[in-house]
Structure 1
């Protein structure tokens, strides 16, 4: 199996980001910005031949212009598996992306920072907003 991570969410995300940035950055540019000495590393990541090195997540996120917390979640699942990643997150707490941080700030603002409980009504309203 020469593409063990081919259908992995991290692989799919990296391929999407590379495509989205292709009008401004080459894969070689992204690899260099991420600190990879081999420019082919981006091809290997987007094709699912290699998993994301956890120590490269911050620089790779910067090069891919994405949130490092989100990329770390994907990389952890890819690296140690979904069950182990969940255990790590349960212990160390969920990394919060910048987008999630903005949503939380808005909730705090609209509720005057009163730490409201998630009720069935508020849960349903959130699900409607986020179409789930």
Structure 2
């Protein structure tokens, strides 16, 4: 049986989690642990609203899992997201977003000095990587 990319990602996460299907189902909010088996087999789709809990439980990147599911289940929407938002983000872009969010949590966003210097450093790294 051929599995979907989303199902393959989830199956790998389940295998590496060390958790039982019942434990995963409880943490994610599935009533029946058999739902996980159906997702693994590609017989049912992952409800998009369960992806954050599923990703966290399985130690998967939420954005990657969500984008994989949207690309598979809703390719038209995925195309619009890619065109409109420039998705998927590169690792460098994700790093900038994480830095910005961490600064926002601390209520300490100073675009003039520290954040600007961090962005300049990332841009220098990007340029150096392109020249290789």
TM range (shorter): 0.5 to 0.7
Name the structure 2 match of 1:129: none
TM-score, reference length from structure 2: 0.67
Q: Report what 2:108 is aligned to.
A: none
SS of the aligned residue for 2:123 comes to coil
Structure 2: gaps spanning 5 or more residues: 100-114
Q: Does 1:85 align with 2:78?
A: yes
The 1:99–1:34 alpha-carbon spacing in structure 2 relative to 1, beyond 3 Å, is farther
Larger radius of gyration: 2
CA contact (8 A) 2:3 2:40 kept: no
Q: Which residue matches 1:9?
A: 5
Root-mean-square deviation (Å): 3.4
Cα distance in 1 between the residues matched to 2:11 and 2:81? 26
More helix by share: 2
Residue correspondences, number: 115
Q: Quick check: 94-103 or 48-57, which moved more?
A: 94-103
For structure 1, the residue ranges without an aligned partner over 5 or more in a row are: 126-132
